[in-house]
Amino acid sequence: MPFIPTTDSNRKEMLKTIGVSDFEELLQPVPEKIRFKKAYDLPQPLSELEVTGLLHDLAAKNEHGGTHTCFLGGGAYDHFIPAAVGHVTSRSEFYTAYTPYQPEVSQGNLQAIYEYQTMIANLTGMDVANASMYDGASSLAEAALLAHTQTRRPEILVSKAVHPFYRETVKTYCMRSGVEVREIDIQNGGTDPDSLRGALSDQTAGVLVQHPNFFGCLEEVESMEKIVHEAGGLFVVSVDPISLGLLKPPGQYGADVATGEGQSLGNSVSFGGPYVGIFTVKQELIRRLPGRLVGVTMDSDEKRGFVLTLQTREQHIRREKATSSICTNQQLCALASTVYLALMGKAGIRTVAHLSTQKAHYMAGRLAELPGVDRLFSRPFFKEFAVRLPVSPQKAIDALRKEKIFAGIDLDRFDYGIKDGLLIAVTEKRTRGEIDRYMDVLKNLL
Protein backbone atom coordinates (compact mmCIF):
# COMPACT_ATOMS: atom_id res chain seq x y z
CA MET A 1 0.00 0.00 0.00
CA PRO A 2 1.45 3.43 -0.93
CA PHE A 3 2.19 5.93 1.82
CA ILE A 4 -0.61 8.51 2.19
CA PRO A 5 0.52 11.76 3.86
CA THR A 6 -1.69 13.06 6.64
CA THR A 7 -3.59 16.22 5.66
CA ASP A 8 -6.21 18.28 7.49
CA SER A 9 -9.00 16.71 5.47
CA ASN A 10 -8.05 13.08 6.01
CA ARG A 11 -7.19 13.79 9.66
CA LYS A 12 -10.75 15.07 10.18
CA GLU A 13 -12.07 12.02 8.35
CA MET A 14 -10.13 9.68 10.67
CA LEU A 15 -11.41 11.48 13.78
CA LYS A 16 -14.95 11.27 12.44
CA THR A 17 -14.55 7.55 11.76
CA ILE A 18 -13.63 6.83 15.38
CA GLY A 19 -16.44 9.04 16.68
CA VAL A 20 -14.69 12.16 18.03
CA SER A 21 -14.79 15.75 16.86
CA ASP A 22 -11.16 16.72 17.47
CA PHE A 23 -7.86 15.39 18.82
CA GLU A 24 -8.33 17.10 22.20
CA GLU A 25 -11.35 14.90 22.83
CA LEU A 26 -9.04 11.87 22.68
CA LEU A 27 -6.91 13.35 25.47
CA GLN A 28 -9.73 13.81 27.97
CA PRO A 29 -8.66 10.84 30.17
CA VAL A 30 -5.19 12.43 30.59
CA PRO A 31 -5.13 14.93 33.52
CA GLU A 32 -4.34 18.50 32.52
CA LYS A 33 -1.50 18.85 35.01
CA ILE A 34 0.60 16.14 33.38
CA ARG A 35 0.03 17.16 29.75
CA PHE A 36 2.98 18.61 27.83
CA LYS A 37 2.02 22.18 26.93
CA LYS A 38 5.28 23.50 25.49
CA ALA A 39 6.34 23.49 21.87
CA TYR A 40 8.31 20.45 20.78
CA ASP A 41 11.91 21.57 20.27
CA LEU A 42 12.67 19.12 17.49
CA PRO A 43 15.34 19.54 14.82
CA GLN A 44 14.49 19.69 11.15
CA PRO A 45 13.91 16.32 9.47
CA LEU A 46 16.93 14.59 7.93
CA SER A 47 17.34 12.41 4.88
CA GLU A 48 18.42 8.78 5.21
CA LEU A 49 21.96 9.77 4.18
CA GLU A 50 22.09 12.51 6.82
CA VAL A 51 20.68 10.23 9.55
CA THR A 52 23.27 7.57 8.74
CA GLY A 53 26.06 10.13 9.02
CA LEU A 54 24.69 11.43 12.32
CA LEU A 55 24.48 7.93 13.82
CA HIS A 56 28.05 7.18 12.73
CA ASP A 57 29.23 10.40 14.41
CA LEU A 58 27.41 9.51 17.63
CA ALA A 59 28.74 5.94 17.61
CA ALA A 60 32.28 7.21 17.12
CA LYS A 61 32.07 8.92 20.52
CA ASN A 62 31.88 5.55 22.27
CA GLU A 63 34.95 4.00 23.86
CA HIS A 64 34.81 0.23 23.72
CA GLY A 65 36.80 -2.98 23.40
CA GLY A 66 37.36 -2.30 19.72
CA THR A 67 39.09 1.02 20.37
CA HIS A 68 40.69 0.33 23.77
CA THR A 69 42.63 -2.54 25.34
CA CYS A 70 40.26 -4.07 27.88
CA PHE A 71 41.25 -5.33 31.34
CA LEU A 72 37.71 -4.97 32.69
CA GLY A 73 35.97 -7.94 34.29
CA GLY A 74 33.57 -8.16 37.20
CA GLY A 75 31.23 -10.53 35.38
CA ALA A 76 31.66 -9.41 31.74
CA TYR A 77 34.79 -10.50 29.87
CA ASP A 78 36.47 -9.60 26.59
CA HIS A 79 37.04 -13.09 25.17
CA PHE A 80 37.63 -13.81 21.49
CA ILE A 81 34.50 -14.66 19.47
CA PRO A 82 34.98 -16.67 16.25
CA ALA A 83 33.35 -15.12 13.15
CA ALA A 84 31.18 -18.20 12.65
CA VAL A 85 29.23 -17.35 15.81
CA GLY A 86 27.91 -14.09 14.35
CA HIS A 87 27.27 -15.72 10.99
CA VAL A 88 25.01 -18.42 12.43
CA THR A 89 23.16 -16.18 14.90
CA SER A 90 22.45 -13.63 12.14
CA ARG A 91 20.54 -16.14 10.02
CA SER A 92 16.93 -15.00 9.74
CA GLU A 93 15.43 -18.28 10.94
CA PHE A 94 17.23 -17.76 14.27
CA TYR A 95 17.48 -13.99 14.47
CA THR A 96 13.80 -13.20 13.88
CA ALA A 97 12.11 -16.22 15.45
CA TYR A 98 9.48 -15.22 18.02
CA THR A 99 8.18 -18.49 19.48
CA PRO A 100 11.01 -21.02 19.07
CA TYR A 101 9.20 -23.78 20.96
CA GLN A 102 6.27 -24.91 18.79
CA PRO A 103 7.33 -28.41 17.71
CA GLU A 104 5.36 -28.40 14.47
CA VAL A 105 7.32 -25.43 13.05
CA SER A 106 10.46 -24.98 15.18
CA GLN A 107 12.46 -28.20 15.07
CA GLY A 108 15.67 -26.35 14.18
CA ASN A 109 15.43 -23.97 17.13
CA LEU A 110 14.41 -26.74 19.50
CA GLN A 111 17.36 -28.86 18.41
CA ALA A 112 19.70 -25.91 18.97
CA ILE A 113 18.34 -25.54 22.51
CA TYR A 114 18.74 -29.28 23.09
CA GLU A 115 22.36 -29.13 21.92
CA TYR A 116 22.98 -26.15 24.21
CA GLN A 117 21.55 -28.05 27.18
CA THR A 118 23.69 -31.09 26.37
CA MET A 119 26.95 -29.15 26.11
CA ILE A 120 26.27 -27.09 29.25
CA ALA A 121 25.48 -30.27 31.21
CA ASN A 122 28.72 -31.84 29.95
CA LEU A 123 30.73 -28.72 30.76
CA THR A 124 29.41 -28.44 34.33
CA GLY A 125 29.26 -32.18 35.02
CA MET A 126 25.63 -31.79 36.13
CA ASP A 127 22.73 -34.07 35.18
CA VAL A 128 20.33 -31.56 33.60
CA ALA A 129 20.63 -28.06 32.13
CA ASN A 130 17.68 -25.88 31.18
CA ALA A 131 17.30 -23.80 28.02
CA SER A 132 18.92 -20.77 29.76
CA MET A 133 17.92 -17.92 32.06
CA TYR A 134 18.17 -14.14 31.69
CA ASP A 135 21.72 -13.83 33.08
CA GLY A 136 24.03 -15.08 35.80
CA ALA A 137 22.38 -12.97 38.50
CA SER A 138 18.83 -14.18 37.84
CA SER A 139 20.09 -17.77 37.58
CA LEU A 140 21.59 -17.59 41.06
CA ALA A 141 18.44 -15.94 42.43
CA GLU A 142 16.26 -18.68 40.92
CA ALA A 143 18.56 -21.24 42.53
CA ALA A 144 17.93 -19.61 45.92
CA LEU A 145 14.17 -19.97 45.43
CA LEU A 146 14.63 -23.57 44.30
CA ALA A 147 16.51 -24.35 47.52
CA HIS A 148 13.71 -22.77 49.54
CA THR A 149 10.91 -24.69 47.82
CA GLN A 150 12.83 -27.98 47.88
CA THR A 151 13.78 -27.91 51.58
CA ARG A 152 10.86 -25.81 52.88
CA ARG A 153 13.35 -23.90 54.98
CA PRO A 154 13.10 -20.09 55.30
CA GLU A 155 16.73 -18.96 55.10
CA ILE A 156 19.39 -18.59 52.40
CA LEU A 157 23.08 -18.01 53.12
CA VAL A 158 25.13 -16.24 50.45
CA SER A 159 28.87 -15.65 50.58
CA LYS A 160 29.89 -12.01 50.50
CA ALA A 161 32.51 -13.06 47.93
CA VAL A 162 29.63 -13.54 45.45
CA HIS A 163 29.31 -10.69 42.92
CA PRO A 164 27.64 -7.71 44.69
CA PHE A 165 25.07 -7.34 41.90
CA TYR A 166 24.21 -11.04 42.11
CA ARG A 167 23.69 -10.70 45.88
CA GLU A 168 21.34 -7.77 45.36
CA THR A 169 19.36 -9.76 42.79
CA VAL A 170 19.07 -12.69 45.19
CA LYS A 171 17.75 -10.37 47.91
CA THR A 172 15.21 -8.85 45.50
CA TYR A 173 13.90 -12.27 44.44
CA CYS A 174 13.71 -13.58 48.00
CA MET A 175 12.09 -10.50 49.52
CA ARG A 176 8.61 -11.22 48.11
CA SER A 177 8.87 -14.93 48.90
CA GLY A 178 9.41 -14.43 52.60
CA VAL A 179 12.92 -15.87 52.44
CA GLU A 180 15.55 -14.34 54.69
CA VAL A 181 18.95 -13.78 53.07
CA ARG A 182 22.02 -13.68 55.30
CA GLU A 183 25.58 -13.00 54.15
CA ILE A 184 28.64 -15.05 55.11
CA ASP A 185 31.79 -13.09 55.96
CA ILE A 186 34.90 -13.40 53.83
CA GLN A 187 38.53 -13.79 54.80
CA ASN A 188 41.51 -13.23 52.48
CA GLY A 189 39.21 -12.75 49.50
CA GLY A 190 37.15 -15.91 50.00
CA THR A 191 34.37 -17.47 52.05
CA ASP A 192 35.37 -17.99 55.68
CA PRO A 193 34.66 -21.66 56.62
CA ASP A 194 34.26 -20.80 60.31
CA SER A 195 31.69 -18.11 59.50
CA LEU A 196 29.87 -20.62 57.30
CA ARG A 197 29.72 -23.23 60.06
CA GLY A 198 28.53 -20.67 62.56
CA ALA A 199 25.77 -19.39 60.27
CA LEU A 200 24.32 -22.79 59.29
CA SER A 201 21.27 -24.10 61.10
CA ASP A 202 18.24 -26.33 60.58
CA GLN A 203 16.57 -23.27 59.03
CA THR A 204 19.13 -22.98 56.19
CA ALA A 205 17.66 -23.95 52.81
CA GLY A 206 20.86 -23.48 50.85
CA VAL A 207 24.27 -21.85 50.65
CA LEU A 208 25.27 -19.77 47.60
CA VAL A 209 28.92 -19.36 46.64
CA GLN A 210 30.79 -18.25 43.51
CA HIS A 211 33.81 -20.16 42.18
CA PRO A 212 35.95 -18.40 41.04
CA ASN A 213 34.42 -15.64 43.13
CA PHE A 214 33.98 -11.93 42.45
CA PHE A 215 37.66 -11.26 43.18
CA GLY A 216 38.73 -14.08 40.84
CA CYS A 217 39.84 -16.17 43.83
CA LEU A 218 39.21 -19.91 44.06
CA GLU A 219 36.93 -21.11 46.84
CA GLU A 220 37.31 -24.25 48.98
CA VAL A 221 34.19 -25.73 47.39
CA GLU A 222 34.81 -29.36 48.30
CA SER A 223 35.08 -28.71 52.02
CA MET A 224 32.12 -26.29 51.89
CA GLU A 225 29.96 -28.90 50.14
CA LYS A 226 30.44 -31.31 53.04
CA ILE A 227 29.64 -28.64 55.64
CA VAL A 228 26.44 -27.58 53.85
CA HIS A 229 25.14 -31.10 53.22
CA GLU A 230 25.80 -32.15 56.82
CA ALA A 231 23.42 -29.33 57.83
CA GLY A 232 20.76 -30.54 55.36
CA GLY A 233 20.95 -27.58 52.97
CA LEU A 234 21.51 -27.44 49.23
CA PHE A 235 24.91 -26.41 47.91
CA VAL A 236 24.57 -23.87 45.08
CA VAL A 237 27.53 -22.58 43.10
CA SER A 238 27.86 -19.89 40.43
CA VAL A 239 30.70 -20.59 38.00
CA ASP A 240 32.61 -18.95 35.15
CA PRO A 241 32.09 -21.52 32.37
CA ILE A 242 35.51 -20.80 30.85
CA SER A 243 37.15 -21.76 34.15
CA LEU A 244 35.76 -25.28 33.76
CA GLY A 245 38.37 -25.89 31.08
CA LEU A 246 40.83 -26.18 34.01
CA LEU A 247 38.87 -26.45 37.26
CA LYS A 248 36.91 -29.44 38.53
CA PRO A 249 33.27 -29.05 37.39
CA PRO A 250 30.57 -28.57 40.06
CA GLY A 251 29.02 -31.96 39.33
CA GLN A 252 32.23 -33.60 40.57
CA TYR A 253 32.33 -31.84 43.93
CA GLY A 254 28.70 -32.41 44.89
CA ALA A 255 26.90 -29.20 43.93
CA ASP A 256 23.12 -29.57 43.91
CA VAL A 257 22.63 -26.59 41.60
CA ALA A 258 25.24 -24.96 39.35
CA THR A 259 24.55 -21.61 37.72
CA GLY A 260 26.67 -19.07 35.89
CA GLU A 261 26.95 -16.27 33.35
CA GLY A 262 27.33 -17.53 29.78
CA GLN A 263 28.44 -14.21 28.25
CA SER A 264 32.01 -15.44 27.92
CA LEU A 265 30.80 -18.29 25.68
CA GLY A 266 30.53 -16.46 22.37
CA ASN A 267 28.63 -13.34 23.46
CA SER A 268 30.20 -9.88 23.30
CA VAL A 269 30.36 -7.52 26.26
CA SER A 270 27.70 -5.36 24.51
CA PHE A 271 27.59 -2.54 27.08
CA GLY A 272 26.23 -4.96 29.69
CA GLY A 273 23.76 -7.20 27.89
CA PRO A 274 21.73 -9.02 26.86
CA TYR A 275 23.45 -12.00 28.45
CA VAL A 276 22.54 -15.64 29.08
CA GLY A 277 22.16 -17.40 32.42
CA ILE A 278 23.33 -20.99 32.92
CA PHE A 279 21.18 -23.19 35.16
CA THR A 280 21.88 -26.85 35.91
CA VAL A 281 20.69 -29.31 38.57
CA LYS A 282 21.05 -32.84 39.85
CA GLN A 283 18.56 -35.33 38.41
CA GLU A 284 16.45 -35.40 41.60
CA LEU A 285 15.76 -31.66 41.30
CA ILE A 286 14.57 -31.75 37.69
CA ARG A 287 10.94 -31.07 38.68
CA ARG A 288 12.08 -27.88 40.40
CA LEU A 289 13.90 -26.64 37.30
CA PRO A 290 12.79 -23.09 36.31
CA GLY A 291 12.28 -21.99 32.72
CA ARG A 292 12.23 -24.20 29.65
CA LEU A 293 13.55 -27.70 29.09
CA VAL A 294 13.77 -29.30 25.64
CA GLY A 295 13.67 -33.08 25.29
CA VAL A 296 13.81 -35.69 22.53
CA THR A 297 10.79 -37.74 21.52
CA MET A 298 9.51 -39.90 18.66
CA ASP A 299 6.64 -38.85 16.37
CA SER A 300 3.93 -41.14 14.97
CA ASP A 301 6.28 -42.10 12.12
CA GLU A 302 9.01 -43.04 14.63
CA LYS A 303 11.16 -40.11 13.61
CA ARG A 304 13.17 -38.21 16.22
CA GLY A 305 11.71 -34.87 17.22
CA PHE A 306 12.29 -32.14 19.82
CA VAL A 307 9.66 -30.73 22.20
CA LEU A 308 9.38 -28.76 25.42
CA THR A 309 9.01 -31.19 28.30
CA LEU A 310 8.30 -31.34 32.03
CA GLN A 311 6.67 -27.90 32.07
CA THR A 312 3.56 -27.85 34.22
CA ARG A 313 0.45 -25.93 33.27
CA GLU A 314 1.02 -23.65 36.27
CA GLN A 315 4.23 -22.38 34.69
CA HIS A 316 2.21 -20.38 32.18
CA ILE A 317 -1.27 -19.94 33.67
CA ARG A 318 -1.50 -20.45 37.45
CA ARG A 319 1.62 -18.47 38.22
CA GLU A 320 1.20 -18.51 42.00
CA LYS A 321 1.76 -22.29 41.91
CA ALA A 322 4.59 -22.24 39.35
CA THR A 323 8.13 -23.34 40.12
CA SER A 324 9.29 -19.99 38.71
CA SER A 325 7.95 -16.79 37.22
CA ILE A 326 10.28 -17.32 34.24
CA CYS A 327 8.82 -19.34 31.37
CA THR A 328 11.15 -18.11 28.63
CA ASN A 329 14.86 -18.21 27.77
CA GLN A 330 17.60 -16.12 26.14
CA GLN A 331 17.61 -18.21 22.99
CA LEU A 332 19.69 -16.04 20.65
CA CYS A 333 22.44 -15.62 23.25
CA ALA A 334 22.20 -19.32 24.12
CA LEU A 335 22.55 -20.10 20.41
CA ALA A 336 25.75 -18.04 20.31
CA SER A 337 27.06 -20.09 23.23
CA THR A 338 26.06 -23.30 21.44
CA VAL A 339 27.96 -22.35 18.29
CA TYR A 340 30.95 -21.22 20.35
CA LEU A 341 31.11 -24.47 22.33
CA ALA A 342 30.70 -26.56 19.19
CA LEU A 343 33.55 -24.69 17.49
CA MET A 344 35.91 -24.70 20.48
CA GLY A 345 35.32 -28.20 21.78
CA LYS A 346 36.89 -29.52 24.97
CA ALA A 347 40.43 -28.74 23.82
CA GLY A 348 39.53 -25.20 22.79
CA ILE A 349 37.88 -24.32 26.11
CA ARG A 350 40.89 -25.78 27.93
CA THR A 351 43.25 -23.66 25.82
CA VAL A 352 41.27 -20.45 26.44
CA ALA A 353 41.23 -21.15 30.19
CA HIS A 354 44.93 -21.99 30.23
CA LEU A 355 45.98 -18.88 28.28
CA SER A 356 43.79 -16.61 30.41
CA THR A 357 45.30 -18.05 33.60
CA GLN A 358 48.89 -17.81 32.35
CA LYS A 359 48.51 -14.23 31.19
CA ALA A 360 46.71 -13.13 34.37
CA HIS A 361 49.50 -14.56 36.52
CA TYR A 362 52.16 -12.95 34.32
CA MET A 363 50.47 -9.57 34.76
CA ALA A 364 50.06 -10.05 38.52
CA GLY A 365 53.76 -10.81 38.75
CA ARG A 366 54.69 -7.71 36.75
CA LEU A 367 52.45 -5.51 38.89
CA ALA A 368 54.07 -6.82 42.07
CA GLU A 369 57.40 -5.42 40.79
CA LEU A 370 56.05 -1.85 40.94
CA PRO A 371 56.70 0.07 44.19
CA GLY A 372 53.70 0.11 46.50
CA VAL A 373 51.65 -2.35 44.43
CA ASP A 374 50.71 -5.75 45.80
CA ARG A 375 47.90 -8.28 45.54
CA LEU A 376 45.03 -7.76 47.93
CA PHE A 377 44.61 -11.49 48.56
CA SER A 378 46.99 -14.44 48.61
CA ARG A 379 44.47 -17.06 47.47
CA PRO A 380 44.93 -18.85 44.13
CA PHE A 381 43.09 -17.10 41.32
CA PHE A 382 41.88 -17.85 37.80
CA LYS A 383 41.90 -14.96 35.27
CA GLU A 384 40.98 -12.08 37.57
CA PHE A 385 42.74 -10.60 40.58
CA ALA A 386 42.67 -7.57 42.85
CA VAL A 387 45.66 -5.33 43.61
CA ARG A 388 46.28 -2.58 46.13
CA LEU A 389 47.62 0.67 44.64
CA PRO A 390 49.59 3.46 46.36
CA VAL A 391 47.46 6.00 44.47
CA SER A 392 43.72 6.37 44.00
CA PRO A 393 42.43 3.56 41.74
CA GLN A 394 40.30 6.11 39.91
CA LYS A 395 43.40 8.17 39.19
CA ALA A 396 45.05 5.11 37.65
CA ILE A 397 41.89 4.31 35.67
CA ASP A 398 41.76 7.86 34.28
CA ALA A 399 45.47 7.89 33.36
CA LEU A 400 45.31 4.56 31.55
CA ARG A 401 42.10 5.50 29.80
CA LYS A 402 43.89 8.44 28.20
CA GLU A 403 46.24 5.84 26.69
CA LYS A 404 43.23 3.83 25.42
CA ILE A 405 43.46 1.20 28.12
CA PHE A 406 40.55 0.14 30.34
CA ALA A 407 42.54 -0.47 33.52
CA GLY A 408 40.03 -2.38 35.65
CA ILE A 409 37.31 -1.75 38.23
CA ASP A 410 37.63 0.47 41.29
CA LEU A 411 36.53 -1.72 44.24
CA ASP A 412 35.49 1.34 46.22
CA ARG A 413 32.14 1.30 44.41
CA PHE A 414 31.12 -1.95 46.14
CA ASP A 415 30.26 -2.88 49.73
CA TYR A 416 33.65 -4.26 50.80
CA GLY A 417 35.12 -1.09 52.26
CA ILE A 418 38.17 -1.38 49.97
CA LYS A 419 39.39 2.12 49.12
CA ASP A 420 42.67 1.34 47.33
CA GLY A 421 41.78 -1.78 45.34
CA LEU A 422 41.67 -2.35 41.59
CA LEU A 423 40.07 -5.48 40.07
CA ILE A 424 41.83 -6.58 36.86
CA ALA A 425 40.76 -9.28 34.38
CA VAL A 426 43.04 -10.82 31.75
CA THR A 427 41.66 -13.01 28.95
CA GLU A 428 43.35 -14.96 26.17
CA LYS A 429 43.04 -11.86 23.91
CA ARG A 430 45.56 -9.81 25.86
CA THR A 431 49.11 -9.83 24.53
CA ARG A 432 52.43 -9.43 26.31
CA GLY A 433 52.85 -6.09 24.52
CA GLU A 434 49.48 -4.83 25.84
CA ILE A 435 50.31 -5.93 29.38
CA ASP A 436 53.76 -4.34 29.22
CA ARG A 437 52.26 -1.07 27.92
CA TYR A 438 49.86 -1.11 30.89
CA MET A 439 52.91 -1.48 33.16
CA ASP A 440 54.72 1.42 31.53
CA VAL A 441 51.78 3.83 31.94
CA LEU A 442 51.18 2.78 35.54
CA LYS A 443 54.90 2.99 36.37
CA ASN A 444 55.06 6.55 35.07
CA LEU A 445 51.99 7.46 37.14
CA LEU A 446 53.50 6.02 40.31
Q: Does position 1 have pLDDT exceeding 50, yes or no? A: no
Task: Kindly state whether residues 259 and 326 are assigned to the same domain.
Answer: yes
Choosing from 339, 370, 403, the residue where a domain stops is 339
In a domain, 177, yes or no: yes
In a domain, 36, yes or no: no
Can you tell me the mean pLDDT for 14-22? 89
Task: Kindly state whether residues 279 and 377 are assigned to the same domain.
Answer: no
Task: Kindly state whether residues 326 and 439 are assigned to the same domain.
Answer: no
In a domain, 290, yes or no: yes
Task: Kindly state whether residues 269 and 152 are assigned to the same domain.
Answer: yes
Give the C-alpha separation, 52 to 398, whole Å: 32
pLDDT at 440: 96
Which of the four pLDDT bands, split at 50, 70 and 90, describes residue 101? confident
Cα dist from 321 to 132, 206, 368, 400, whole Å:
21, 21, 55, 52
Task: Kindly state whether residues 249 and 332 are assigned to the same domain.
Answer: yes
Task: Kindly state whether residues 328 and 189 are assigned to the same domain.
Answer: yes
CB 248 within 8 A of CB 227: no
Task: Kindly state whether residues 316 and 206 are assigned to the same domain.
Answer: yes
Terminal-residue alpha carbon distance, the chain: 67
pLDDT digits (tens, 9 = 90+) for 359-387: 999 999 999 999 999 999 999 999 999 99
Cα dist from 91 to 86, 158, 337, 338, whole Å:
9, 41, 15, 15
Domain harbouring 199, CATH code: 3.40.640.10
CB 146 within 8 A of CB 282: no
Task: Kindly state whether residues 283 and 353 are assigned to the same domain.
Answer: no
Choosing from 339, 359, 380, the residue where a domain stops is 339
pLDDT digits (tens, 9 = 90+) for 149-198: 999 999 999 999 999 999 999 999 999 888 999 999 999 999 999 999 99
Domain harbouring 385, CATH code: 3.90.1150.10
Give the C-alpha separation, 339 to 266, whole Å: 8
Give the C-alpha separation, 420 to 429, whole Å: 27
- Total structural domains within the chain: 2
Choosing from 320, 339, 358, the residue where a domain stops is 339
In a domain, 38, yes or no: no
In a domain, 137, yes or no: yes
Task: Kindly state whether residues 296 and 187 are assigned to the same domain.
Answer: yes
In a domain, 209, yes or no: yes
In a domain, 244, yes or no: yes
Cα dist from 239 to 106, 212, 260, 273, whole Å:
31, 6, 5, 18
In a domain, 94, yes or no: yes
Task: Kindly state whether residues 199 and 278 are assigned to the same domain.
Answer: yes
Task: Kindly state whether residues 335 and 373 are assigned to the same domain.
Answer: no
Give the C-alpha separation, 388 to 368, whole Å: 10
Can you tell me the mean pLDDT for 240-244? 98
Paired with 209 in beta bridges are: 237
Task: Kindly state whether residues 91 and 73 are assigned to the same domain.
Answer: no
Can you tell me the mean pLDDT for 327-350? 95
pLDDT at 5: 60
Can you tell me the mean pLDDT for 260-276? 95
Provide the sign of the torsion angle of the four alpha carbons 102, 126, 279, 340, taken in this order. negative
Nearest one of 297, 296, 294 to 311, comparing CA atoms: 294
H-assigned helices in 126-269? 136-151, 164-175, 193-199, 221-230
Q: Could you tell me the residue range of the domain that residue 174 belongs to?
A: 83-339
Which of the four pLDDT bands, split at 50, 70 and 90, describes residue 319? low
Can you tell me the mean pLDDT for 277-306? 94
